[in-house]
Amino acid sequence: MRRGLAAAVVVAALTISASACSGGSSGSDTSGPVTITWWDTSDATNEAGTFKGLVAEFEKANPDVKVEYVSVPFGDAQTKFQTAAGSKGAPDVLRADVGWTPGFVEAGFLAPLDGTAAAAESAKFKPNLIEQAKYQGKLYGVPQVTDTLALMYNKELFAKAGITTAPTTWDALKADLAKVKEKTGVDGFAFNPQSYYAMPFLYGEGADMVDAGKKQITLNSPAAVKGIDTLNSVLETPGIRKLDTTSNAYANIMDAFNSGKVASIIQGPWENANVFKGAAFKDKNNLGIVALPAGSAGQGAPLGGHNLVAYAGSDAKHQEASQKFIAFMTSAPSQVKVALANGTLPTRDDAYTAEVNANPGIAGYSPLLAGGKPRQPLAQYSSLYTPFETQLIKIVSKQETTKPGLDKAAAEAKKLLPEFSTQ
């Protein structure tokens, strides 16, 4: 989300490129330790330090392998990896969003991990997360961290408004927002108009952006229209925070929630650590986390997270080192350390220790994982968020009505999926 100065971006790109090209996958020296390059896409300010510490532990335990750590902004990583892999200069290991797997596999960028050291303990991971790391029956990643969306709310503000039970439907949420505003003067809810945060409104009506099995674009289906109409009705409720469509919307919304100026938001566990730093949540137990309200077809939220994947262009020696590194970084002890330090959710049951479960943020989100909706196994799926978001912003800003706006989004999706039919 962050944007740096143009010069800084250029320097960073050159540094990353140089790091990738000088990494272990291109080295010919067979003496001494193997050097592999890892692109870490975690938050450089709040999360990366934990992973750097694990890298040092891995190197100490495995003196035959050196890891060249490179922090790559998440928003740039997909494009940078595609460019680097296309020129045989990609890192040996990448922390990849779960939605990138199909596209990277079809491009020939990822090495299958079935039967390797990286996947030796795959039976200990949550089954739905392992399935999401597969494509066409083969395993291409090992889940490092997972997430889903939930309703985060300020318990104190809800209590002051006389609300004793978290809302389970969007209509109930709308009623609660008005109460919060009336009783506390605080905005009841803020919505981030990014397409990912609108997915629960589609899922709640039984819709998605596409139906991969039927090869059909469903962004403008009646169910999808109903879902976005529901979102619009929420945004028109008294007590809603003024819609923010600026480039700083994400940060602005989080600042408002963390400081107690907004009572509820839709958010994921990657923000747990930041929320607990906020003035409103010095008492961690003031943070409420519940499943998102349901639509007419039920409740649904996207199942997300990050996998560690191995570059297919690395030679056998570097592949072996990469597999060993992936196994270490996704082991139960490593995941426990990450969860305790960063407040994020482990991907294997044996990492949910008593100490990990004592974190209110983790305890709130972990029961919701079983109901998360995995992304469809389609190479272009992640790219569909862009045309959806372009029209979503216009729709919620009242520049476009729902059906015509979603028709335009579907038309753009058709360009990405010409073999798919439309509604």
Query: Does one domain contain both 164 and 213?
Result: yes
What's the average model confidence in pLDDT over 186-210? Answer: 97
Full domain range(s) for residue 51: 6-147+305-373
Per DSSP bridges, beta strands 264-267 and 34-40 are unpaired
Query: Does one domain contain both 240 and 215?
Result: yes
CA 156 to chain centre: 28
Between 22-31, 75-84, 181-190, 286-295, the lowest mean confidence (pLDDT) is in 22-31
What's the average model confidence in pLDDT over 395-402? Answer: 97
Say how far apart CA 285 and CA 276 lie, in whole Å: 10
Give the pLDDT confidence score for residue 87 in this predicted structure.
Answer: 85
Q: Is residue 102 part of a domain?
A: yes
Say how far apart CA 284 and CA 359 lie, in whole Å: 8
Q: Is residue 422 part of a domain?
A: no
Give the HSE-up count for residue 57: Cα atoms under 13 Å, Cβ half-sphere. 12
What's the average model confidence in pLDDT over 213-225? Answer: 97
Q: Is residue 1 part of a domain?
A: no
What's the average model confidence in pLDDT over 43-61? Answer: 95
Query: Does one domain contain both 23 and 152?
Result: no
Q: Is residue 421 part of a domain?
A: no
The CA angle 321-324-325, to the nearest 5 degrees, is 85
3-state secondary structure of 94: strand
From 341, 357, 373, give the residue that closes a domain. 373
pLDDT band (50, 70, 90) for residue 235: very high
Query: Does one domain contain both 22 and 143?
Result: yes
Give the pLDDT confidence score for residue 18 in this predicted structure.
Answer: 36
Query: Does one domain contain both 114 and 254?
Result: no
Say how far apart CA 265 and CA 274 lie, in whole Å: 14
Contact 309, 80 (CB under 8 A): no
Q: In this model, does residue 177 exceed pLDDT 50? A: yes
Q: In this model, does residue 25 exceed pLDDT 60? A: no
Give the HSE-up count for residue 276: Cα atoms under 13 Å, Cβ half-sphere. 18
Nearest Cα to 228, choosing from 41, 394, 378, 75?
394
Query: Does one domain contain both 85 and 127?
Result: yes
What is the per-residue DSSP string for 249-307?
HHHHHHHHHHTTSBSEEEE-GGGHHHHTTSGGGSSGGGEEEEPPPBBTTB--EEEEEEE
What's the average model confidence in pLDDT over 52-61? Answer: 98
Q: What are the φ and ψ backbone dihedral angles of 348, each rounded to 5 degrees?
A: -130, 145
Between 26-40, 166-180, 261-275, 371-385, the lowest mean confidence (pLDDT) is in 26-40
Query: Does one domain contain both 135 and 169?
Result: no
Query: Does one domain contain both 208 and 177?
Result: yes
Q: Is residue 154 part of a domain?
A: yes
Inter-axis angle of helices 222-235 and 385-396, nearest 10: 50
Between 58-67, 176-185, 343-352, 368-377, the lowest mean confidence (pLDDT) is in 368-377
Query: Does one domain contain both 352 and 387?
Result: no
Between 30-34, 143-147, 281-285, 329-333, the lowest mean confidence (pLDDT) is in 30-34
Query: Does one domain contain both 288 and 404?
Result: yes
pLDDT band (50, 70, 90) for residue 31: low
Q: Is residue 423 part of a domain?
A: no
Query: Does one domain contain both 166 and 282?
Result: yes
Query: Does one domain contain both 286 and 325?
Result: no
What's the average model confidence in pLDDT over 92-99? Answer: 97
What's the average model confidence in pLDDT over 284-307? Answer: 96
We report the CATH number of the domain holding residue 194 as 3.40.190.10
Is the model more confident about 28 or about 332?
Answer: 332
3-state secondary structure of 332: helix
The dihedral of CA 200, 201, 204, 209: what is its sign? Answer: negative
Q: Is residue 67 part of a domain?
A: yes
pLDDT band (50, 70, 90) for residue 30: low
Number of domains in the chain: 2
